[in-house]
Each structure stands twice: as structure tokens, then as C-alpha cells.
């Protein structure tokens, strides 16, 4: 499905509102939308909501052999998916420019900033390392995908626990969660992306643009930063020229936003851990707001299945017993047998038609032959006189559609038309040439 284009008046309205320092959702220029983090029952599963933008993150791990040039380092893999659920314009299984750009930015933000200690993921140097895979699914697109995805990725990584492993000599033991508590990943710092949208060649700036604002913006600046105010990645796109002061001001704002978000993430992680420790209820079921009119819950319901057997017996008793078929294999010829009742073979009729077709096919072959030759010459003539080609092609179609017609007749017809339209000697000569070439 195609994206609904933004109308000119909508565009003008948005830009004028931005000029007047107003935003459609009532935010101020530097306001970030509300961030909500909820965790699933599994480790490493979270949903991050940034306003209406929603990203599902899931971390999984696997023991693999390491890369040849990095024998002692674990592997980190990021995969952001733009599901069609998020917006109708996203097609499933297509690598769009936006997707490639976002994935690359995520990798730069999280892998290249070395926020995860990859050496601690090594089990046996050169043989077995952990591969950590971060799957991010965009569920709803309301702008600023990258910020939401980067928060979801780092939250999922912080929440994740991998199975414990022990190495004794050559023996590697993998423990199930029941045997030993899974261990968290060692995370050095938490880089978070903050996006800035620029309008009117950088005159106006907005933090955390929503979908509508993203559509009318001129340029985008993404700064990935951790709470120690260390810049991990900075990317400017859209082809706007920014002044040094602007970038510095953005980095200052990013510092403030990142500090706020990091605090929120830590609070959410602590809260989830506390609930898990106390044995309380956790998971997405608990994060559904009860007071919402669109939400509804039902406690587990017992179902009376005492009469199931009687019902089943009743149905079977009522049902007619299946007709008993005693299959006696009949050996026709060695290697060919028949099982079941000897029903008249309906394929017999087909054979007849096939025969007919074959006969027809012979005719066609002749015709095709003639066409080939004719088209060969026509293409040469066609350079001089275009309409001939058209008329000829019509003839071709006519011949193929009606193979029953007498081929000779057609042939004479075609030749006649030729003679009418083209000089009489020329085609004959050319035909001879063609044959010689073949």
C-alpha cells in the first residue's frame, strides 16, 4: 500500500506552526515525548513506547565459532525490522534505504561504541563464543524510529541474561536456568540516540520529531551519547549545512535528554528486577493499563470437560461407519500396480486430445517456420516501412490462434500481402541469405 502523501496545505500549516514555535502535539521545541518501557516474561524482551512510536526488542544468544581475525571476541548482531504493522508503506522483506540507514546507525551507536564487553562473551578462544542477536521490531511508526530503537536495544541488552557456562579442561558445560542462574551481559555504558529535526535550512530546530514533522523537515541530526556526556555517534543527514554553534547546542540538549532517559531506564530495570525477585506478577499482561476502556482481562476459567467423552461417543455412534474398502493390488505389468476400485480412467480422453494437439502442432511447426523467415525479412524491410511490421505481427497472431486453418492458404495469403506491400524480388533474396546463414 502506498503512503498517503502530505498535502501542500498540511505542509504549509505545519511549517507555519513551527515558525510560530508551536507543535501539533502541544510540546515545546525541546520537549521529548513520554517514554514508557515494559518488559516481557522472558529475559531480554521489552517494548519501548516513545509517544505513539512503539518498538519491540528481543535479545537472544547462541554459541558459535568466532570470526577468524577476532578469536577472543563475541559477536554482536543487530537487526531492525520495519514491519508492515508500523505503517502500510513498509513492504515485508524489502531492504529499503531507510531500513539500511537505521540499521547502520544502530550498529554504529551500539557496536562501534563498544558499550558491550565482547571479550566477556568468549567461552573457548578461537572455538566457541556467544553470538548476541538483538531483534528490533517496529510496531507503530509515529516518527523518530531511531531513538525508540536505540532505547529498546539497550534496554533489552541490559535486561538480558545468558545461560551460565563453565569450562573444565576441554569440557564445556552449559547450564539450564534451573541449574544455575543466568548471567547478565557486562555493559560499560548506555549510548542513546537523540534526534533533532531542522527546518528552513536550519533556522528552526525541534527535538524528537514526530511522523508529520519528519515529513516536512529539511535535515536531521542524530547524536548518540551516554550519560557521561561522551558522544558515541553523530550523523547529519538531509543535506543541510549546520553551524558549529548549532551542533554544540544540540549536543548540550542531547546530554540533558540522555541523562533523563538513562535514569528512566535504570528505574524500569530495577522495578522489574524487584518484582521478579519478590515473585510478583510481571510480563506484558501487567503493563496493560486496567482503567483503559479498550482493555479487558479475565482470570483463568475452569472448563467442564466431564461430558466430552460422552459427546464424542455420541458423534461417533451417529456417524456412518466408513465404507470398507478392501484393496487388492492388481499387477498390470512388472512395476505397475493398481490399488483400489477400478474406476474408469478419466485420463483416457486426454490422450485423444493430445493426439489432436500433436497433429495441430505439426501444422503449427510449418507455419512457425514460415513466420520465422518472414519476420526475418520483415525486420529488414521494417526499417524502410514501419506499417508493414504492424500488419505482419497481426498475421502472426492470427496464425497462432487458429492453427486449424490450412497452412498453405495462410502462407499464400502472407506472401500475397508481402507482394502487395513490398517489392517482389527483395524478400526472396533475403530468404535465401537467411537459409545460408543458418
Q: Rule CB under 8 A: which residues touch another protein?
A: 1-2, 40-42, 45, 47, 52, 54, 56, 58, 60, 81, 83-88, 92, 133, 135, 137, 139-142, 281-285, 288, 292-309, 311-313, 315-316
CB of 40 to another protein, least distance (A): 5
CB of 185 to another protein, least distance (A): 17
**Max Cα distance, the chain (Å):** 101
Q: Which of 257, 227, 281 is nearest to 38 (CA)?
A: 281
**Residue 49 vs 392, nearer CB to another protein:** 49
CB of 307 to another protein, least distance (A): 8
CB of 152 to another protein, least distance (A): 13
Q: Which of 58, 45, 61, 276 is nearest to 165 (CA)?
A: 61
**Residue 299 vs 324, nearer CB to another protein:** 299
**Residue 54 vs 108, nearer CB to another protein:** 54
**Residue 36 vs 411, nearer CB to another protein:** 36
CB of 144 to another protein, least distance (A): 14
Strands 75-82 and 122-124: unpaired
**Residue 58 vs 262, nearer CB to another protein:** 58
Q: Which of 145, 151, 119 is nearest to 132 (CA)?
A: 119
What angle do the packed helices 347-382 and 425-437 form, to 10 degrees? 120
* 194 touches 109 (CB < 8 A): no
**Residue 87 vs 259, nearer CB to another protein:** 87
Q: What is the rounded distance in angstroms from the CA atom of residue 224 to the CA atom of residue 154?
A: 12
Three-state DSSP at 165 gives strand
**Residue 54 vs 418, nearer CB to another protein:** 54
Burial of 426 (0-12, 13-18, 19+ CB in 10 A): middle
Name 49's bridge partners.
36, 54
**Residue 98 vs 337, nearer CB to another protein:** 98
The grid coordinates of residue 76 equal 554482536
**Residue 58 vs 103, nearer CB to another protein:** 58
CB-side neighbour CA atoms (13 Å) of 356:
7
* 136 touches 56 (CB < 8 A): yes
CB of 129 to another protein, least distance (A): 19
**Residue 6 vs 125, nearer CB to another protein:** 6
Burial of 169-178, coded b for 16+ CB within 10 Å and e otherwise, reads eeeeeeeeee
CB of 289 to another protein, least distance (A): 8
CB of 237 to another protein, least distance (A): 23
Straight-line distance from the first to the last Cα atom of the chain, in angstroms, rounded to the nearest whole number: 51
Q: What is the rounded distance in angstroms from the CA atom of residue 149 to the CA atom of residue 58?
A: 11
CB of 221 to another protein, least distance (A): 25
Q: What is the rounded distance in angstroms from the CA atom of residue 263 to the CA atom of residue 150?
A: 15
* 342 touches 329 (CB < 8 A): no
Q: What is the rounded distance in angstroms from the CA atom of residue 13 to the CA atom of residue 377?
A: 64
Neighbours of 90 (CB within 10 A): 19
At CA 161, angle to CA 284 and CA 81, rounded to 5?
60
Amino acid at each position: 500500500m502506498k503512503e498517503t502523501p502530505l498535502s501542500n496545505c498540511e505542509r504549509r500549516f505545519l511549517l507555519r506552526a513551527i515558525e510560530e514555535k508551536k507543535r501539533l502535539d502541544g510540546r515545546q521545541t525541546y520537549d521529548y515525548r513520554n517514554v514508557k518501557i515494559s518488559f516481557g516474561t522472558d529475559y531480554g524482551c521489552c517494548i519501548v513506547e516513545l509517544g505513539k512510536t512503539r518498538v519491540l526488542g528481543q535479545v537472544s544468544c547462541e554459541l558459535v565459532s568466532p570470526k577468524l581475525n577476532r578469536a577472543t571476541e563475541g559477536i554482536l548482531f543487530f537487526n531492525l525490522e520495519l514491519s508492515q504493522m508500523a505503517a502500510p508503506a513498509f513492504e515485508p522483506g524489502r531492504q529499503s534505504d531507510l531500513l539500511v540507514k537505521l540499521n547502520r546507525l544502530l550498529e554504529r551507536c551500539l557496536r562501534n561504541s563498544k558499550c558491550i564487553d565482547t571479550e566477556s562473551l568468549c567461552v573457548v578462544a578461537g572455538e566457541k563464543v556467544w553470538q548476541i542477536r538483538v531483534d528490533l521490531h517496529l510496531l507503530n511508526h509515529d516518527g523518530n524510529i531511531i531513538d525508540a530503537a536505540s532505547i529498546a536495544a539497550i534496554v533489552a541488552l541490559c535486561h538480558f541474561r545468558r545461560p551460565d557456562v563453565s569450562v573444565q579442561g576441554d569440557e564445556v558445560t552449559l547450564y539450564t536456568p534451573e541449574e544455575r542462574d543466568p548471567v547478565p551481559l557486562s555493559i560499560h555504558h548506555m549510548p542513546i540516540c537523540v534526534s533533532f529535526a531542522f527546518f528552513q535550512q536550519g533556522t528552526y530546530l525541534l527535538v524528537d520529531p514526530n511522523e508529520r514533522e519528519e515529513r516536512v523537515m529539511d535535515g536531521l541530526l542524530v547524536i548518540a551519547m551516554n550519560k557521561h556526556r561522551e558522544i558515541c555517534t553523530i550523523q547529519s543527514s538531509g543535506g543541510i549545512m549546520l553551524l558549529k554553534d548549532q551542533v554544540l547546542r544540540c549536543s548540550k540538549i542531547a546530554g540533558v535528554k540522555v541523562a533523563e532517559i538513562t535514569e528512566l531506564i535504570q528505574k524500569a530495570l530495577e522495578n522489574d528486577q524487584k518484582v521478579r525477585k519478590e515473585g510478583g506478577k510481571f510480563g506484558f499482561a501487567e503493563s496493560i493499563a486496567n482503567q483503559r476502556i479498550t482493555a479487558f482481562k479475565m482470570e483463568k476459567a475452569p472448563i467442564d470437560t466431564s461430558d466430552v467423552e460422552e459427546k464424542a461417543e455420541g458423534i461417533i455412534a451417529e456417524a456412518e461407519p466408513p465404507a470398507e474398502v478392501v484393496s487388492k493390488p492388481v499387477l498390470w505389468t512388472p512395476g505397475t500396480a493398481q490399488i483400489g476400485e477400478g474406476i474408469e480412467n478419466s485420463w483416457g480422453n486426454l490422450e485423444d486430445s493430445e493426439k489432436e494437439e500433436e497433429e495441430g502442432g505439426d501444422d503449427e511447426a510449418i507455419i512457425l517456420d514460415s513466420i520465422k523467415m518472414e519476420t526475418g525479412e520483415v525486420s529488414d524491410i521494417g526499417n524502410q516501412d514501419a506499417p508493414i511490421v504492424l500488419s505482419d505481427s497481426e498475421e502472426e497472431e492470427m496464425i497462432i490462434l487458429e492453427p486449424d486453418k490450412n497452412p498453405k492458404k495462410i502462407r499464400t495469403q502472407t506472401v500475397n500481402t508481402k507482394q502487395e506491400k513490398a517489392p517482389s524480388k527483395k524478400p526472396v533474396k533475403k530468404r535465401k541469405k537467411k537459409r545460408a546463414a543458418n
